[in-house]
A = this chain, B = another copy of it.
Amino acid sequence: MATIYDVAKESGFSVATVSKVFNRYSGVNDKTREKVLITARRIGYVPIQSAQTLVTKKSWLIGVIFKEDLNQGLIHPHFGGVLETFKLEMEKSGYDIIFINRNFSNQNMRYLEHCRYRNVDGALLASSTLPQEEALAIHHAGIKCVSVEKNYPKIPTVISTNHEGTMNALKYLYSLGHRRIGILNSPIGSLAGYERFEAYKMFLKKYNLPYDPNIVSICDTYTDEEGLIKAKELVNKSKNNLPTAIFAGYDKIAIILQSYLISIGISIPNDISIIGFDDIEIASISTPTLTTLRQYRAEIGRKAADLMKRQLNNEKIDTSEIFRIPTELIIRESTCRARIIERI
């Protein structure tokens, strides 16, 4: 492979000059620059990143810490969508994306080790299981962080308006006449799950509706199996007095719930209305199609990339509040007006 020395020799200038050309320094004669560039192209010179990194300490690499219960990884409909736009935006500025994992060694702090091993300039935290301690260690190592999942002190977070979204969903159900609204929620260990559940409780208070544990089920993990178990649990607990509507913490679980209810002879939405959260592709294809809160994944990814770039340019970022991306209520077939009988 051609090195900077080859370009220097061939063009008749020194390596210092060639380096300056490639790093867009000002103090280079235009003719010199042109000659160097032509020579470089002719002999197929490409600067080697590892050599650059060694001296500049800048790798142009962004680590992605991306791991959840499901091990769905890249195909995860929500995070995969966020990541796609984040990646595109970072690539525009010359950064490449690399996945950080825990295979690196057998100690703790493995994510941090992996980050240092690869010298990443920044890290996108998109793991529902990354402990605060590890996140902060990465931050303190001088690696610029942005989170799109949990909220860590001093690290900017980009996430949907879970509270408002959930409120809107519940108000919509209320407007349809529903007064007995259950919840099948995502794990409250995740920020999204926590905020949605808090919104649920606040809604009940605000509208003077009783909190009935018999129509509340909360998952501990995001697996399909657990989703089904909790869906059944919810039905069993309330079988003498089923809710007329159920808010499901995310679309996947809404679909699981819907299928289960249909399988035991409950009609959706006539007997029970269902509302999800995410608006993943399946939501518009399932039967009935799912009323849900759309998350703007591309917007989240774009905002995260923006915050990342600004930090990489050493701008100060306000980390005192979470950056929110609005959600939108998408009304489809899984919700309808509560039957009058319910209100007697």
CB distance from A288 to the nearest CB of B (A): 9
Q: Which residues of B contact A87 (CB under 8 A)?
A: 73-74, 99
Q: Which residues of B contact A107 (CB under 8 A)?
A: 41
Q: Is A28 an interface position by the 8 A CB rule?
A: no
Encoded as 1 (CB less than 8 Å from any B CB) or 0, chain A from 51 to 76 comes to: 10110000101000000000011110
- Given contacts A98-B97, A116-B1, A285-B285, whether A84 and B92 have CB atoms under 8 Å apart is no
- Which B-chain residue is minimally distant from A107 (CB atoms)? B41
Q: A48 to B41, Cβ gap below 8 A?
A: no
* Cα distance A51–B48 in the bound complex, in angstroms: 12
Q: Name the contact of A101 in the complex, choosing from B54, B74, B75, B91 (C-beta under 8 A).
A: B91
Interface size for chain A: under 10, 10 to 19, 20 to 34, or 35 or more residues? 35 or more
Q: A99 to B97, Cβ gap below 8 A?
A: yes
A residues engaging B (CB < 8 A)?
1, 41, 46-51, 53-54, 59, 61, 72-75, 77, 80-81, 83-84, 87-88, 91-92, 94, 96-99, 101, 103, 107, 113, 116-119, 255, 281-282, 285-287
30 A–B contacts from the bound complex (CB under 8 Å): A1-B116, A46-B116, A47-B117, A48-B116, A48-B119, A50-B51, A50-B53, A50-B54, A50-B119, A72-B84, A73-B84, A73-B87, A73-B88, A74-B75, A74-B83, A74-B84, A74-B87, A75-B81, A87-B99, A91-B101, A91-B103, A92-B103, A94-B103, A96-B98, A96-B118, A97-B98, A97-B99, A255-B285, A281-B282, A287-B287
12 further interface pairs, Cβ-Cβ under 8 Å (given A49-B119, A96-B118): A1-B116, A41-B107, A49-B117, A50-B53, A50-B119, A73-B88, A75-B75, A75-B84, A97-B98, A282-B282, A285-B285, A287-B287
